[in-house]
Every structure is written in C-alpha cells, then in structure tokens.
Amino acid sequence: MNRLQQLFQHKKKDILSIYYTAGYPNLPDTLKIAEALEKSGADFLEIGFPYSDPVADGPIIQASSKQSLDQGMTLQVLFDQLKDLRKTITIPILLMGYVNPVLQYGVDNFCKACKEVGVDGCIIPDLPMYEYEEMYRTCFEENGISNIFLVTPQTSEERIRKIDGLSNAFIYLLSSAATTGKNLDVSTAARMYFTRIQAMNLNNPLMIGFGISDKQTFDSANEYASGAIIGSAFVKALSAEGEIEENISAFMKQFR
C-alpha cells in the first residue's frame, strides 16, 4: 500500500491537494515548494511536468509550463530534483502531465524512476484507458504507482465503472469539461452531475478538480467528494512578488 492509498484509507473528507508546475517560478524551486506546502497543511501534492502543447490547461498553467520549459525543465531534471524528496517530505506525491514526455522517457523507465524517488501516483490525462490496461498497468502496479483517471460530466456510466475497476487510489472528478482555471460553477447541472456520481457508490473515493480556487469552492466540492484539488489559483499565487514560502503560507491559511 503506497502513501496515497494509506491517506484515503485513513482520511475520508476535507482532503486538500495542491497542483503546481515543476520548475516554476524558478527551476530549482520544485522541492522547496513541496516542503512549504506540506508544512502548510496540504494532504498530497500533484507536481506537473510541463509539455509544449498543454491542451487541457488554462492560461495560467500554460504560462507556468512555458516558463519552466524555457528554464530547462525536463522529466530527467525533475527526477534529479526529486532524488532527495523523501528526506523531507512525508505526504503523498503525484506527477501530472501529458503522455508524450512519458513515452519519450520510456514507460518502464518512468515508473522505475517514480518508485526510486518516492512518487506514489501519476495523472496522465491523455493516456488512453485501453493502452494503460493492455500495455502499462503491470509496470505501474509492480512499481507501486497509482494511475489516476479523470471523469467529466460527459463520461458514460459504463466507462466510469471501468475506470473504478482499474483504479486503486481515487478518481479525479472534473467539475466541467473546460480547461483549468475556470471558477467552479455549482449550478443545478453541476449538482446533478456530482450527485449522479455519488449515487454510483464507486469503490474509489472522489476528488474534485478544475475551478477550485478558494475556501468557498473548496467547501462546495467537499459536499460531493472526499476533497478537492487546487491548481491555477495556487500557481497564480506563486507568481506574486515576495518570498515563495511566505506566499504559500498566506495562500494556504484560508484552507487550514
């Protein structure tokens, strides 16, 4: 059982996950940000490895990815930065990004590197489910890496059941099919969508992402899931003037 699975076994509600882009705002900041987030009360982290064509990301995360890439971030640089991760970080860590860099790195090499540095899971939104099941699942599971699938309002019940069967940590419930950075819209349609998923009584817990930006939207998401994921709002906070650790502490105080 990895750290991520242990977290969801012992904590059922109010789980806070933070996404940020590796190597942003400055290339060496990746581990420093993780340490500050754990200190400030984050339950687990999603570290994004940037890609040149981030189709699902809104402008804030796109800009952070470009800056990170321009500064020299690659998967190998990220793994080098994370080699001492578990000397200071105890909470679960996921890597999130697009499949192309993973394929270039080699899926076997990627999974082994994740295990070596202490990464617990991955979110690769454009990795087809059938490819994961037929080609990569064994590699992920042998290295103790949880693969996280995404569900949108348009996802069929059949596919959601299939995702639930392939998952062993949590399911990432997108608040909408839009790009990241939009505010959470808890409209009648959104509530019906969240309630419909709740009523399926899935085996895996749910985390809601896309549009969670403050205490109000975080609390709204918690009505329907085990917790929520904050990305664009946090990345924006990282770009503010001042010391990174102070900016992180100030941002996190609204939640913890």
The domain locations on the chain are 3-253
Residue 201's contacts (CB-CB under 8 Å, 6 or more residues apart) are none
Active-site position among 57, 116, 141, 158? 57
Residue 187's contacts (CB-CB under 8 Å, 6 or more residues apart) are none
Q: Is 46 a catalytic residue?
A: yes
Active-site position among 46, 84, 141, 245? 46
Q: Check whether 24 has a pLDDT greater than 90.
A: yes
Average pLDDT on 56-68 reads: 89
Q: Check whether 90 has a pLDDT greater than 60.
A: yes
Query: pLDDT class for 106, splitting at 50, 70, 90?
Result: very high
The pLDDT value recorded for residue 175 is 82
Query: pLDDT class for 183, splitting at 50, 70, 90?
Result: low
Q: Check whether 179 has a pLDDT greater than 50.
A: no
Q: Check whether 235 has a pLDDT greater than 90.
A: yes
Q: Looking at 95-230, list the stretches that DSSP marks H as alpha helix, in order from N- to C-terminal side.
A: 99-105, 107-117, 129-131, 137-142, 157-166, 188-199, 215-222
- 164: number of Cβ within 10 Å: 16
Average pLDDT on 239-245 reads: 92
Q: Check whether 177 has a pLDDT greater than 70.
A: no
Average pLDDT on 7-21 reads: 97
Q: Which of 46-60, 157-171, 212-226 has the lowest average pLDDT?
A: 46-60
Among residues 62, 70, 118, the alpha carbon closest in space to that of 236 is found at 62
The pLDDT value recorded for residue 53 is 78
The CA distance from 216 to 136, in Å, is 38
Average pLDDT on 20-33 reads: 98
Q: Check whether 178 has a pLDDT greater than 80.
A: no
Answer whether CATH 3.20.20.70 is correct for domain 3-253: yes
Using alpha carbons, list the distances in angstroms from residue 73 to 49, 61, 66, 93, 101.
8, 15, 10, 18, 12
Among residues 79, 74, 89, the alpha carbon closest in space to that of 111 is found at 79
Q: Is 70 a catalytic residue?
A: no
